[in-house]
Amino acid sequence: MTDADLLSPQYLGGPTVDTTNCEREPIHIPGSVQPHGVLLVLSHDLTILQASANARTLLGLDPDELLGQPLGHVAEQREVQALRRFLDSGGYAGGQFTSTLRFGPRRELDATVQRSGDRLLLELEPRDPDTSSEFYHVIKNALSALETAPDLASLTQRAAEQVRALTGFDRVMIYRFAPDDSGLVIAEAKQPELHPFLGHRFPESDIPRQARALYVQHLIRLTADVNAAPAPLVPVLDPESGQPVNLGGAVLRSTSPVHLQYLRNMGVGSSLSVSIVQDGRLWGLISCHHTTGRVISQPTRSALEFLARVLNLQVKAKLEQEIAQFRQQRQEVQRRIADRLSSSLTPLQTLAEPDLGLMTLLDCGGLAMHFDGQLQLMGQTPAPEQVMALIQWLREQPNDLYATDALSSEWPPAEADERVASGLLAISVSGGWQEALLWFRPELPQTVAWGGDPTKPVERAADGSAQLTPRHSFDTYIQQVRGRSEPWHQGEIAEAQDLRRALTSAVGERLTMLRSLNDQLGRANDRLNRANTEWREYAFVMSHDLQEPLRLISNFLELFGVRFGGQLDASAEKMIEFTLGEAERLRSLIRDLYSYTELSAGAPPRRAEVDLNAVLQQLQRELAAAIASSGARITVDPLPQVQGNAARLQQALCHLLDNAIKFSRPDTPLVHVSAKRVTEGWAIRVHDQGPGIAPEYHDKIFTVFQRLGKREDSVGNGIGLAIARKIAELHGGSLSVSSGVGHGSTFTLTLPDDQPSPGPHV
């Protein structure tokens, strides 16, 4: 078995390729080189281990005469020593070594040395006449053209023209790769008679994955003649390791048979590719085609590589310029969002404000916001259940930002909503997609011009097996594309990233602040609850301890009056009667103070349906003595049924009726009770024809112990109206007065409808 038998035929230039090799073909170890140059594989001490079979064409020696020989035995010692010094100094670590090596008195060759694992690859090519002056002017003009380009379109077109001027190729195209790795021709310089490819798209399959990886690592690839037979390495395997040598970075590396056939089908005799790399990714490609074979010398390639590196920098600058211009147009929206977020305690809810303009930050048709388990939709979006399913799917994705212009190709359920949601840009605010913003972009039907049918043809071999063959036709192929939206601009993605960071920061700050406030509030509530409990206990003890001696005083005076009634004069009996009245008044005050203390504790009443007609009837029975003694006349309109606590509502109305009777005019008091439906619920009105209340006292009368006039002229204890207002507020309502001096007073008790019971009975 020979060394060649260890490698598949295609690695040595054979014609057979099966349907799987296009993606798996190890193009970095072809085992052969293009015949316009010679390759020597050297050990670290510059011993020749392998040589291409065509060595005699340039060196005048066959491989068998070279193998095992030190490089210095076949090349001039002066150049070999220069190479050794360069390697020993570590200068190689920065790139390739290029020089001129002399092989014999009359043979000068362009030499390039680079490392491949433990080996050195020495590539030798015929040396062109000195063209340094010509290169200087070409490169100077090219740099000037690139540096003055106003935008990306102008830059790439000028680059295509300058590369063509430098290399002399018939056609120079510049591709820009899409996220799906298909390539769009965005610039072209060509011979007039050639069919144009500008604006055409080429499928991802035209450049296999492993080829793209090499393109990122090595900027320039050359196929000098698609019809030239490759020269195999001798021996084909490394004699020490027994493995094929990696030729991935070698310019002389022979070209994949599939790609050679691809070029022949295009009518191309030679090709040159130059990578445009951005942030470690293959952004684009300069692709040069010539109808016949064309060798590009090493100095020309060096000039071209320099130009390519300048172009990479210029492309980066133009892309950043595009993003900056895009974002500048949205500065007003950015500023408004930043201002609102900086002052918002609920930053996520702030985004839902209609005038914020969140939908205009990115060009979209609809927006979904998912915060605190709540979903809010704006504009044209999928149905809520579909959006929630999408968010669930996003939780399986690895990143906090997701962008696509073909959602249904990545999440098939989106096919039903392609009209409104072919494109999606989504950000996770809190991590894990618990809080998220999703921008939807509608379908944009497109007409795509392909450089030939993008479908890879598969043919059958004589034995019936499938064989992959490159496309035969590159005529314009028109395809209608559905299910895609306008792609997201890098500026939009940058805006979304900034918004995500701002929201994450704002949410974090607000959560920290809210946790601190909640802790403080919790401690304050604990203190307040303890204080309320202590106060209620104190009030109960005080009420009990004060009531007991008052009962004893009242009982003693009553017994004293009965026992000595016949012995007392009218003045003494009047004093006993006055003392008993004051004792009862003090007992009433103590009861009301205790009641007010309970109400001030804030425990909401347990509500049920209350018939206010029944409440008023009961009150009139309880106040019968006061009504009779005052001669008051009370009229009552039909009253509603309300939700409330019957005992507390009766207590409030009792104070209002008692107040109306006590503060009526000396003649017959007239009191009218009515009800009216209002926006808040029901307004219960108690109207009297008393002397009225001046406006400056309308609020004061609801404070504890506030009386109008002198104390000795007042009846009551000055706490009843305060209790009535407390009861109204605990029911979620209010108590107010409308009055004027000499025009009577109307007290309005407002009770809301259908309030659920939030707490225990009070």
Q: What confidence score (pLDDT) does residue 754 get?
A: 62
Share of the chain above pLDDT 70, in %: 78
User: CA nearest 294: which of 274, 271, 275, 273?
Assistant: 271
Q: What is the CA radius of gyration of the chain?
A: 48
Amino acid in the structure at residue 494: A
Is the pLDDT assigned to residue 345 strictly greater than 80? no
φ, ψ for residue 471, nearest 5 deg:
-65, 140
For the stretch 592-613, pLDDT in tens is 665 666 666 655 667 788 899 9
Give 223's strand partners. 271
Does residue 59 sit in helix, strand or coil?
helix
What per-residue confidence (pLDDT) applies to 540? 58
Residues with Cβ within 8 Å of 719's Cβ and at least 6 positions away in sequence, in order, are 589, 592, 593, 596, 704, 705
What residue type is 724 in one-letter code? A
Give me 514's structure tokens.
Answer: 């809210």
- CA–CA gap between residue 36 and residue 123 (Å, rounded): 11
Cα dihedral 391, 393, 398, 404 sign: negative
Peptide bond into 758 cis (omega under 30): no
C-alpha span between 650 and 611 (Å, rounded): 11
The beta strands (E) that lie in 563-652 are given as: 608-611, 633-636, 641-644
Q: What is the mean pLDDT of the chain?
A: 80
Q: Is the pLDDT of residue 710 over 50?
A: no
pLDDT digits (tens, 9 = 90+) for 646-679: 888 888 898 888 888 887 766 778 889 999 999 8
As a whole number of angstroms, the distance between CA 710 and CA 374 comes to 59
Three-state secondary structure along 180-238? CCCEEEEEEEECCCCCCCCCCEECHHHCCHHHHHHHHHCCEEEECCCCCCCEEEECCCC
Beta partners for 439?
367, 425
Question: d(Cα 426, Cα 367) in Å, to the nearest integer?
Answer: 10
Structure tokens at 150: 């106003």
- Rounded to an integer, what distance in angstroms lies between the CA atom of residue 538 and that of residue 594? 10
Cα gap 448→457, rounded to integer Å: 20
**C-beta of residue 451 within 8 angstroms of C-beta of residue 185:** yes
161: exposed, middle or buried (C-beta count within 10 Å: 0-12, 13-18, 19+)? middle
Using DSSP's 3-state secondary structure scheme, residue 693 falls into coil
Q: What is the pLDDT of residue 153?
A: 93
The pair of structure tokens assigned to 181 is 């790795």
pLDDT at position 488 over 70: yes
Residue 691: is its pLDDT beyond 90? no
Q: Are strands 436-441 and 366-371 parallel, antiparallel or unpaired?
A: antiparallel
pLDDT at 15 over 50: no
The three-class DSSP label of residue 67 is coil
Judge whether 151 and 318 are in contact, CB under 8 Å. yes
Interstrand relation of 436-441 and 38-42 (parallel, antiparallel or unpaired): unpaired
Q: What is the pLDDT of residues 140-195, one digit of tens each?
A: 888 889 989 999 999 999 999 999 999 999 999 999 998 888 888 999 999 999 98
Are the C-beta atoms of 508 and 477 separated by less than 8 Å? no
Sheet with 119-126, strands from edge to edge, namely 32-33, 231-234, 48-52, 38-42, 119-126, 108-116, 97-102
Query: Per DSSP, what are the bridge partners of residue 681?
Result: 678, 752
Please say whether the beta carbons of 513 and 237 come within 8 A.
no
Dist. CA 603–CA 721, nearest whole Å:
19
User: What is the average per-residue pLDDT within 741-749?
Assistant: 86
How far apart, in whole angstroms, are the C-alpha atoms of residue 268 and residue 290? 6
Which residue's entry shows tokens 């900034």?
A: 498
pLDDT at 713: 44
Q: Which residue has the higher pLDDT, 352 or 540?
A: 352
Residue with tokens 């203190």: 527
pLDDT at residue 675 in the model: 92
pLDDT classification of 758: cutoffs 50, 70, 90: very low
Contacts of 705 (CB under 8 A, 6+ apart): 717, 718, 719
Distance of CA 711 to the CA centre of its chain: 69
> 702: which residues sit within 8 A by CB, 6+ positions away?
721, 722, 725, 735
Q: At what angle do helices 298-328 and 490-564 cross, to 10 degrees?
A: 30
Q: Are 341 and 350 in contact (CB under 8 A)?
A: yes
pLDDT band, very low/low/confident/very high, at 757 (cuts 50, 70, 90)? very low
Task: Measure the CA angle with vertex 63, ends 61 and 67; round to 5°.
Answer: 110
> Which range among 56-70, 479-493, 520-534, 705-719 shows the weakest confidence by mean pLDDT?
705-719
Buried b (16+ CB within 10 A) or exposed e, 353-382: eeebebbebbbbbbbbbbbeeebebbebbb
Residues 498-551: tens digit of each pLDDT: 888 877 777 666 656 666 777 888 887 777 777 666 656 555 555 555 666 767
Give the pLDDT band (50/70/90) at residue 587: low
Greater confidence (628 vs 95) lies with 628
Q: Please choose, from the candidates 514, 469, 440, 729, the residue with its C-alpha nearest in 3D space to the C-alpha of residue 601.
A: 729
C-beta atoms surrounding 290 within 10 Å: 23
pLDDT of residue 269: 95
Q: In terms of residues, how long is the chain?
A: 762
All residues at 6 or more sequence positions from 335 whose CB lies less than 8 Å from its CB, including other chains: none
Q: How far apart are CA 743 and CA 741, in angstroms?
A: 6
The type of residue at 300 is T
User: Is 80 exceeded by the pLDDT of residue 687?
Assistant: yes
Give the pairing type, strands 423-428 and 436-441.
antiparallel
**CA angle in degrees (0–180, nearest 5) for 471-477-483:** 110
pLDDT for the residue 514 = 63
3-state SS, 80-103, equals: HHHHHHHHHCCHHHHCCEEEEEEC
Number of alpha helices (DSSP H) and beta strands (DSSP E) in the chain: 21, 29
Q: Is the dihedral of CA 200, 201, 205, 206 positive or negative?
A: positive
Q: Which of 105-109, 678-682, 740-744, 745-749 has the lowest mean pLDDT?
A: 105-109
Burial class (CB in 10 A: 0-12, 13-18, 19+), 169: buried
Query: Using an 8 Å Cβ cutoff, are 195 and 291 in contact?
Result: no
What pTM does this model have? Answer: 0.60
d(CA 263, CA 127): 27
